[in-house]
Amino acid sequence: MTLLSSLTFLSGFCFIYYGINCIISKQMKSEFKRFGIPQFRVLTGILQLIGGTGLIVGFFFSPIIAYLAALGLAVLMFMGFITRLKIKDGMLASTPALFFALLNTYLTFLYA
Protein backbone atom coordinates (compact mmCIF):
# COMPACT_ATOMS: atom_id res chain seq x y z
CA MET A 1 0.00 0.00 0.00
CA THR A 2 1.43 3.38 -0.98
CA LEU A 3 1.47 6.55 1.10
CA LEU A 4 -1.12 8.09 -1.23
CA SER A 5 -3.51 5.18 -0.89
CA SER A 6 -3.04 4.94 2.90
CA LEU A 7 -3.71 8.64 3.46
CA THR A 8 -6.61 8.66 1.00
CA PHE A 9 -8.35 5.73 2.69
CA LEU A 10 -7.64 7.07 6.18
CA SER A 11 -9.16 10.43 5.38
CA GLY A 12 -11.96 9.02 3.22
CA PHE A 13 -13.22 6.50 5.76
CA CYS A 14 -12.83 8.94 8.68
CA PHE A 15 -14.96 11.51 6.88
CA ILE A 16 -17.61 8.97 5.94
CA TYR A 17 -17.78 7.96 9.62
CA TYR A 18 -17.83 11.56 10.88
CA GLY A 19 -20.34 12.60 8.23
CA ILE A 20 -22.80 9.93 9.34
CA ASN A 21 -22.12 10.78 12.97
CA CYS A 22 -22.64 14.48 12.29
CA ILE A 23 -26.07 13.81 10.81
CA ILE A 24 -27.45 11.29 13.31
CA SER A 25 -25.61 11.84 16.61
CA LYS A 26 -27.30 13.71 19.44
CA GLN A 27 -23.84 14.65 20.75
CA MET A 28 -22.99 16.34 17.44
CA LYS A 29 -26.31 18.17 17.57
CA SER A 30 -25.34 19.65 20.93
CA GLU A 31 -21.78 20.37 19.72
CA PHE A 32 -23.04 22.41 16.78
CA LYS A 33 -25.29 24.35 19.17
CA ARG A 34 -22.23 25.00 21.32
CA PHE A 35 -20.33 26.15 18.21
CA GLY A 36 -23.18 28.60 17.52
CA ILE A 37 -23.93 27.09 14.10
CA PRO A 38 -26.65 24.45 14.59
CA GLN A 39 -28.09 25.28 11.16
CA PHE A 40 -24.92 23.93 9.49
CA ARG A 41 -24.78 20.51 11.17
CA VAL A 42 -26.59 18.48 8.50
CA LEU A 43 -24.88 20.36 5.66
CA THR A 44 -21.50 19.70 7.27
CA GLY A 45 -22.32 16.01 7.58
CA ILE A 46 -23.40 15.80 3.96
CA LEU A 47 -20.24 17.60 2.81
CA GLN A 48 -18.14 15.21 4.88
CA LEU A 49 -19.90 12.21 3.31
CA ILE A 50 -19.45 13.61 -0.20
CA GLY A 51 -15.80 14.45 0.46
CA GLY A 52 -14.95 11.09 2.00
CA THR A 53 -16.72 9.20 -0.77
CA GLY A 54 -15.09 11.44 -3.38
CA LEU A 55 -11.64 10.60 -2.04
CA ILE A 56 -12.20 6.87 -2.25
CA VAL A 57 -14.02 6.89 -5.60
CA GLY A 58 -11.49 9.35 -6.99
CA PHE A 59 -8.58 7.16 -5.92
CA PHE A 60 -9.93 4.31 -8.04
CA PHE A 61 -11.46 6.17 -10.97
CA SER A 62 -10.45 9.83 -11.27
CA PRO A 63 -7.65 11.82 -9.65
CA ILE A 64 -9.63 14.98 -10.46
CA ILE A 65 -12.47 13.80 -8.22
CA ALA A 66 -9.99 12.92 -5.46
CA TYR A 67 -8.32 16.32 -5.88
CA LEU A 68 -11.63 18.20 -5.60
CA ALA A 69 -12.72 16.09 -2.61
CA ALA A 70 -9.42 16.67 -0.78
CA LEU A 71 -9.56 20.39 -1.52
CA GLY A 72 -13.14 20.65 -0.27
CA LEU A 73 -12.36 18.72 2.90
CA ALA A 74 -9.26 20.83 3.55
CA VAL A 75 -11.35 24.01 3.33
CA LEU A 76 -14.10 22.49 5.49
CA MET A 77 -11.62 21.47 8.18
CA PHE A 78 -9.77 24.79 8.18
CA MET A 79 -13.16 26.40 8.78
CA GLY A 80 -13.78 23.88 11.58
CA PHE A 81 -10.39 24.70 13.10
CA ILE A 82 -11.14 28.44 13.00
CA THR A 83 -14.58 27.83 14.53
CA ARG A 84 -13.07 25.91 17.40
CA LEU A 85 -10.50 28.61 18.07
CA LYS A 86 -13.20 31.28 17.82
CA ILE A 87 -15.24 29.64 20.58
CA LYS A 88 -12.03 29.25 22.61
CA ASP A 89 -11.89 25.44 22.59
CA GLY A 90 -8.11 25.64 22.85
CA MET A 91 -5.41 24.07 20.76
CA LEU A 92 -5.78 20.50 22.07
CA ALA A 93 -9.50 20.30 21.23
CA SER A 94 -8.82 22.00 17.89
CA THR A 95 -5.98 19.68 16.87
CA PRO A 96 -8.10 17.03 15.08
CA ALA A 97 -9.60 19.68 12.79
CA LEU A 98 -6.15 21.08 12.06
CA PHE A 99 -4.74 17.60 11.45
CA PHE A 100 -7.44 16.76 8.88
CA ALA A 101 -7.10 20.19 7.27
CA LEU A 102 -3.37 19.65 6.81
CA LEU A 103 -3.80 16.02 5.73
CA ASN A 104 -6.30 16.98 3.03
CA THR A 105 -4.17 19.91 1.95
CA TYR A 106 -1.31 17.42 1.46
CA LEU A 107 -3.61 15.09 -0.48
CA THR A 108 -4.66 18.03 -2.65
CA PHE A 109 -1.04 18.56 -3.63
CA LEU A 110 -0.49 14.85 -4.25
CA TYR A 111 -3.51 14.67 -6.57
CA ALA A 112 -2.69 17.93 -8.39
- Return the percentage of the chain with pLDDT > 70, whole number: 100
**Which run of H or of E encompasses 61?**
helix 41-61
- When pLDDT is cut at 50, 70 and 90, the band that residue 33 belongs to is very high
- For 62, left (φ over 0), alpha (ψ -120 to 50), or beta? beta
pLDDT at 72 > cutoff 90: yes
Do 34 and 70 form a contact (C-beta atoms < 8 A)?
no
The DSSP letter of residue 40 is G
pLDDT at 1 > cutoff 90: no
How far apart CA 76 and CA 32 sit, in angstroms, is: 14
The pLDDT value recorded for residue 41 is 97
